[in-house]
Amino acid sequence: MVNKKRALGRGLSALLENANTDITTRLSNESDKTLGSISEVAVSQIEANPFQPRSLFEEEALIELSESIKTYGIIQPVTLRKMGNDKFQLISGERRFRASQIAGLERIPAYVRVADDQTMLEMALVENIQRENLDAIEIAISFKRLIEECDLTQENLSEKVSKKRSTVTNYLRLLKLPAEIQLGIRKNLISMGHARALVAIEDENEQLKLFEKIVNEQLSVRQVEALVKGITPQKPKPATKNYLTSDLEHRRNFIADRLSNKVELKRSRTGTGKLIINFKNDEDLNRVLSLLENQ
């Protein structure tokens, strides 16, 4: 058996594990303790979802994920449907399942559901997100489950959990960070603010380097944001094309000479635009206005 670190914390383990939850009492046999909670399930008892729309999985990416799993364990549990006779079927998390097989794991953490518990799952997840003392990664995982398993859009989700859509998006983006950084968030080595800054870096190696620097030097969020600006290339703003004819340019120059002020004339391809007359102070402004009024 591969010796892996346990990735799940108490907060995430508590999701759907409340003794009063309807998922356990209404939809499962009391002797079946796996339903509605996080359980360690034997890999040999899990079968792939025959309705999985994705049929191609990049081998190199799976191997990389398997190496991460060997080191850090599975941070995001897979979701299974109990099929009876100690058999389970994947609902979501097939990449993690396949990578776990490559890593040689015998058991993996999983949420276990029955076929018709979607509505109660949604209610339980929303309730726990609102009341449990969850870390940022646990919240992000719960958001992802609601979107994937309950067929919600980010807009729907933001309404259900009473958060802005931008907040939901920021949490979900955390799941794109490397496993080491996600664990750092869960262990309170870095804050949500630090993590949001790291997400802006595209190169994973740069993310990890800065993560280590944050931890070792106890950098503030502002310091990290400043460092990220130096790492992330700034995209130049595209120049706005000015559709001026030679006649319009001549007339702009004539007005500038007449007023003795700088005049800007900008025109779009559709003919809309703006005319800007610059002035130095109130006295200059009054002079320009007088000239215009007397025309």
Task: State which amino acid sits at residue 236.
Answer: P
**Separation in Å, CA 102 to CA 77, 90, 182, 232, 293:** 16, 17, 22, 34, 81
Q: In sequence order, which residues have a C-beta less than 8 Å from that of residue 122 and are 6 or more positions away?
A: 146, 150, 152, 160
Q: Which of 40, 94, 132, 206 is labelled catalytic?
A: 94
CB 97, CB 57: distance < 8 Å: no
Q: In sequence order, which residues have a C-beta less than 8 Å from that of residue 3 and are 6 or more positions away?
A: none
| Known active-site residue 94 | yes
Q: How far apart are CA 49 and CA 173, in angstroms?
A: 26
Q: How far apart are CA 35 and CA 24, in angstroms?
A: 6
DSSP string, 109-137: EEEEE-TT-HHHHHHHHHHHHHHS---HH
Tokens of 151: 């067929």
Return the C-alpha torsion angle 39, 129, 78, 96, nearest 10: -130
SS (H, E, C) 134-193: CCHHHHHHHHHHHHHHCCCCHHHHHHHCCCCHHHHHHHHHHHHCCHHHHHHHHCCCCCHH
Residue 91, SS3 per DSSP: strand
Among all residues, which ones are annotated catalytic? 94
